[in-house]
Amino acid sequence: MPINKPRGMALRLSTSDHAHSSDDNAMSDTGSLAVGGFNIGRHGITQSPLSVGEISSLRLDQLHLGHKLGRGNSSRVYLASHLPTGKPVAIKILQPSSDSSTAESVRLALNEVRTVFQARSDHLVSFYDAFHHEGSLHLVLEYMDAGSLENLFSTMVRANEMIPEAAVGQLLWQMLQGLIYLHREKRAVHRDLKPANVLLNASGFVKLSDFGISRSLDETQALAATYCGTAQYMAPERLSESGVYGYPSDVWSLGLITLEGLVGRYPYARSSNHFDLVNSVVNGPPPTEDADVRRVLSPDLWDLLNTALAKAPHERPDATQMARHSFMQRLHAMPFDLAVFIRRSVDLQQQQSSEPLSLEM
Ligand code: ADP
């Protein structure tokens, strides 16, 4: 099965703002979008408030749209081919909407642009450029050819297979690297960590995506009132009335995602009622206290996740402390090839699905 490997792809990002032609710089009256120091036009980002000042050499007319990869809260995501190089990219198109959420959606997407524009981490999905086209915002992103952790989890459940501890450990390790970068370098809270926002590729890389609602910490409270994401992976403090949340809330989400991978199901009792779920998370015991959970997990891994899922945010370790936990020492001594495991799960998913996940352009 041929698998595209987006790592090292030649979608060059120029380090000079001379990369754009004078034509590109004269976009202001042709439908470009100027928000928060950014100017995003038909030809991509022509002005950015960010100090690195990198401007892509991509052009929208050089991208050939392929099939839909997924659908998010506010967007559709497509596979596309960059015609000059034949390399795959993902295009996230912010859906135009006639209602009042449009301005908020654009604001969130621009925030994604801000956060990812300067990101330099192997564990965050790379961002190539943004375009304003036919009234919607197009974000051009690194294509992750093995889908999301949500896909992987459901594939393994359907195959009736547990995910090995070494695989979950490596997933956790890589997610932590992304989180450490976000928290320490970008001073940003992800806010919407869930299996659908953790993307994988066939080379064995695990990357956090969907920074649509991440924001630097000092602005946290301003957004808390306006955004309502998926409750399932949200920390108790975020779901409770106080609504106060920060870096430890991301640690909770990562702990819950990891626990789900290990036990093969969402760790709380599934409820169709939003209020029951919120009540269990806010008022119930942490999911690590479940006797079945204790039985499945090795003691050191249980200890790590038990602290990450402490109800009180100040009792949780930060992402760096988690990466230094004794479980990680043991993990690094385990021989396990995550890339092989991920590729096998994609094969399994293809077998299971009548609509195969295409890994080809
Ligand atoms: P939203 O921010 O609107 O919620 P997401 O960014 O979560 O949208 O994307 C929705 C889905 O699209 C993801 O769960 C994933 O399946 C797919 N997807 C998103 N980005 C990529 C990418 N870079 N490569 C491959 N698939 C992607």
Whether residue 313 is predicted with pLDDT greater than 80 in this model: the reply is yes
Structure-token pair, residue 191: 């806010």
**What is the position in ligand 1's atom list of the atom closest to the CA of 143?**
24
Ligand 1 atom 3 nearest Cα:
72
Answer positive or negative: Cα dihedral of 64, 92, 344, 204: positive
Closest CA to 306 of 289, 282, 319: 289
Residue 131 Cα distances to 51, 82, 95, 135, angstroms: 20, 15, 13, 10
- By the 8 A CB rule, do 149 and 257 touch? yes
Q: Which range, 27-36, 79-88, 100-109, has the best average confidence (pLDDT)?
A: 79-88
Q: Which residues pair with 127 in a beta bridge?
A: 141
**Rounded to the nearest whole angstrom, what is the distance from the C-alpha of residue 70 to the centroid of ligand 1?**
6
**What does the alpha-carbon distance between residue 212 and residue 214 come to, in Å, rounded to a whole number?**
6
- Return the best residue to mutate from 151, 209, 355 for the ligand 1 pocket (most ligand atoms within 8 A of CB): 209
Q: How confident is the model at residue 97 (pLDDT cuts 50, 70, 90)?
A: low
Ligand 1 atom 17 nearest Cα = 70
Q: Tell me, what's the pLDDT at 1?
A: 30
Quickly count: other Cβ atoms within 10 Å of residue 341's Cβ. 19
Q: Whose CA is nearest to atom 25 of ligand 1?
A: 144
Q: Is the pLDDT of residue 140 over 50?
A: yes
Sign of CA dihedral 109, 236, 321, 148: negative
Contact 169, 163 (CB under 8 A): no
Kindly tell me if the per-residue pLDDT of 111 is higher than 50. yes
**54 C-alpha to ligand 1 centroid (Å):** 24
- Ligand 1 pocket check for 200: Cβ under 6 Å: no
For residue 52, the model assigns a pLDDT of 33
Tell me the percentage of the chain whose pLDDT exceeds 70: 69
Active centre residues (catalytic): 192
- Please tell me if the CB atom of residue 94 comes closer than 6 angstroms to any atom of ligand 1: no
Distance from first CA to last CA of the chain, Å, rounded?
13
Distance 23 CA to ligand 1 centre (A): 32
Ligand 1: centre distance to CA 345 (Å):
18
Distance in Å, CA 9 to ligand 1 centroid: 19
* Continuous H helices in the chain: 22-25, 101-117, 149-158, 165-180, 220-224, 236-239, 247-263, 274-283, 291-296, 299-308, 319-323, 326-332, 338-352
Residue 280 near residue 269, CB atoms below 8 Å = yes
Higher pLDDT, 78 or 41: 78
Strands, E assignment, 5-120 = 13-14, 33-35, 38-41, 44-47, 55-56, 63-71, 75-82, 87-94
- The band of 80, judged by pLDDT with boundaries at 50, 70 and 90, is very high
| 229 Cβ below 6 A of ligand 1 | no
Looking at the DSSP bridge assignments, the partners of residue 38 are: 35
Closest residue to atom 4 of ligand 1, CA basis: 72
**Average pLDDT of span 68-79:** 86
11 contacts 85 by C-beta, under 8 angstroms: yes
Average pLDDT of the residues in 127-136: 79
How far apart are the CA of 147 and the centre of ligand 1, in A?
A: 8
- Closest C-alpha residue for ligand 1 atom 15: 70
Residue 128 and residue 13 in contact, taking contact as beta carbons nearer than 8 Å: yes
Q: Answer yes or no: is the C-beta of 141 below 6 A from any ligand 1 atom.
A: yes
Q: Sign of the CA dihedral 62, 136, 144, 78?
A: negative
Mutation choice for ligand 1 from 92, 143, 205, CB with most ligand atoms inside 8 A: 92
Asked whether 75 lines ligand 1 (CB < 6 A), one says yes
Dig out the tokens for 197 from the structure: 């926002």
Whether pLDDT at 77 is above 50: yes
User: Is the shortest distance between the CB of 91 and ligand 1 below 6 Å?
Assistant: no
Give the nearest ligand 1 atom to 197 CA: 7
Tell me the three state secondary structure of residue 3.
coil
Q: What is the biggest distance separating any 2 CA atoms in the chain, rounded to whole angstroms?
A: 66
